[in-house]
Amino acid sequence: MTETYAIQMNRVSRYYGARPGIVDVTATIREGRLVGLLGPNGSGKTTTIRLLTGYLPPSEGEVRVCGYDVFEESLEVRKRIGYLPENCPLYPEMRVIDYLRWIGELKGITGSELDTAIFQSLGQCGLDGMTDRVIGHLSKGYRQRVGLASILLFRPPVMILDEPTIGLDPLQAREFRRLIETLRGRHTIILSSHILTEVEMLCDEILIVSEGRLVTQGTPDELKKQVRPLYRLCCKRHSSYASLLPVLTSAVPDIRIEEYTEGEEGIYLRMRTVESDPRELLFQRCAETGIVILEMGKEEITLEDVFVEWICRSREPSETAEMNEVNR
């Protein structure tokens, strides 16, 4: 069964002294999937990636890439992994062609095979005609492409891209996404990103990490289903929010107001409930109390909602603990 999984992490933890990088992460990624790795800053994304590339060893647990242990069989893993670190570090004084040739030889490709690989990867990344340019003089977008071309050279089964579109303008980011789109299915790709729309557009599967823990994993649709839907309500502006709130809670006791704004026409609210659809109950109660409803509806769930929801859930216990600490 091992070979069907490109990546397996079994109860993996990594500590930086007393500070945990990631704690007790267990995850598997099947071959050929395009997986998004999401999490706020400092949540453990880069640590996870460094564990996968073998740059750091786990403090506990086991990480396998293509069936090889990253610590014990590090060289085998490195032969099968293409890694584009955050900010895409390259040697600025080298020409594009020289860099690709150098990295290709370092990965063990030689002769005509290397020439073909360079030609193909340049074409794939839209770098034709840029071969003689000095890397230090290229725009950020082109440098990202050079970075990607350098890992496409040897067709690695697993590609790890750490925030690849950060710093790119929207046009460049779109082109980059297109490029990644073309690689779907041929490689297992792990895409670490902050940009949720990008991940939503590209990825087959999403992993969300927070506070060093893997909080959830699944396809975008699966994840969306896990999130309670959001409802919007707009009431005519003759009552204040303070007077409105008791009315709503009396109708649906487990209602949670996520957001409210007082506009020209009335009060806009976004809310969630733990269980069923609250719209009918709210409508009845508002009619009874004479509150005029201008608009009411169910919102489409986005990945951002999923993200926020899971991050909030993961932080809740620790926030509570912090509060307890303060009170004590």
Partner 1 sequence: MKQVWLIAKRDFFTFMLSPTGFLLLAAYLVISGYVFAADLSTSREASLQYVFSTFGIISILLIPLLTMRLISEEVRTGTFEVLVSAPVQDWQIIVGKFLAGWMSFLMLSAPTFSYLFILEIWGEPDWSMALCGYLGQQLLAILLVALGLCCSAATVNQVLAGMSAMVLGLLWATTHELRYSLPDSFGEWMAYFSIFHHYALFRRGIFDSRAVLFFVIGAGMLLFLAVRLIESRRWKTATVPNAVASLPRYSRLTTMVSALALILLMECVISRFSRGIWSGYNTSLLLASGGLAGFVLWRNRIRVAAALAKKRSGLALIVCANCGLIVAIWFFILYLSYFYYFRLDLTGSKTYEISELTRNVLTRIETPVDIVVTITKPSDLVMKIENLLDDYASRSAWLKRHYIDPAQSPAEMDYWREKLQLSGPLSEEILIASGEKYRRIPQAALVQNKILQVVEGRRILGPAYFVGEIEITSVLLHLTRAQPGKVVFLSGHGEKNPEAAGDAGLSHIVQELQNANWVVQHSIIMPGGNPRFSEDTQVVVIAGPRQAITAEEVNSLRQVLDRGGGILFLPEPGFDADLVSWLDTWNIRLNNDIVADFQSHLAGGDASVLYVHRFDSRHPIGRSMERQAAVLPAARRIGVNLTTPNPSVYATNFMHTSGSGWALEFKESGPLQLDSQRDRKGPISVGVAAERYQSFADPGHDPMQGRMVVIGDSDFCTNQYVELAGNADLFLNCVEWLAGRHDLLSIRPKRAEIFTLALTAKDVKLIYWWSMILLPGAAISAALFLNYKWRKAK
For partner 1, the binding residues (CB under 8 A) are 15, 17-18, 50, 53-59, 71, 74-75, 78-79, 81, 83, 85-87, 89-91, 93-94, 102-103, 105-108, 132-134, 137, 150
Contacts of 64 (CB under 8 A, 6+ apart): 2, 5, 7, 8, 9, 10, 70
Tell me whether residue 90 or residue 117 sits nearer to partner 1 (CB atom).
Answer: 90
Residue with smaller CB distance to partner 1, 63 or 267: 63
CA 211/CA 43 separation, integer angstroms: 5
Closest distance between partner 1 and the C-beta of residue 62, in Å? 12
Q: Based on CB atoms, which residue is closest to partner 1, 5 or 83? A: 83
Nearer to partner 1, 93 or 181 (CB): 93
Burial class (CB in 10 A: 0-12, 13-18, 19+), 281: middle
Residue 93 or 222: which CB sits closer to partner 1? 93
Task: Report the nearest approach of partner 1 to the CB of residue 18 (Å).
Answer: 5
Both tokens of residue 231?
């409802």
Q: Contact at 8 Å (CB) between 306 and 227?
A: yes
In contact, 299 and 231? CB cutoff 8 Å: yes
d(CA 199, CA 193): 7
> Whole-number minimum distance, CB 28 to partner 1, in Å?
22
CB of 82 to partner 1, least distance (A): 8
Give every CB contact of residue 53 below 8 A, 6+ residues apart in sequence. Answer: 70, 77, 78, 81, 83, 160
| Residue whose CB is less far from partner 1, 190 or 196 | 190
Q: Which is nearer to partner 1, 17 or 290 (CB)?
A: 17
Smallest Cα–Cα separation from 189: which of 202, 178, 198?
202
Nearer to partner 1, 29 or 130 (CB): 130
Minimum CB–partner distance for residue 107 and partner 1 (Å): 6
Q: Please state the closest distance from residue 54 (CB atom) to partner 1, in A.
A: 7
CA distances from residue 168 to 91, 106, 144, 165, 319 in whole angstroms, order as listed: 19, 28, 9, 5, 35
Neighbours of 66 (CB within 10 A): 21
CB 11 within 8 A of CB 59: no
DSSP 182: H
- Cα-based distances in Å from 35 to 31, 126, 213, 275, 306: 10, 24, 17, 30, 16
Q: Please state the closest distance from residue 237 (CB atom) to partner 1, in A.
A: 54
Query: C-beta of 289: minimal distance to partner 1 in Å?
Result: 57
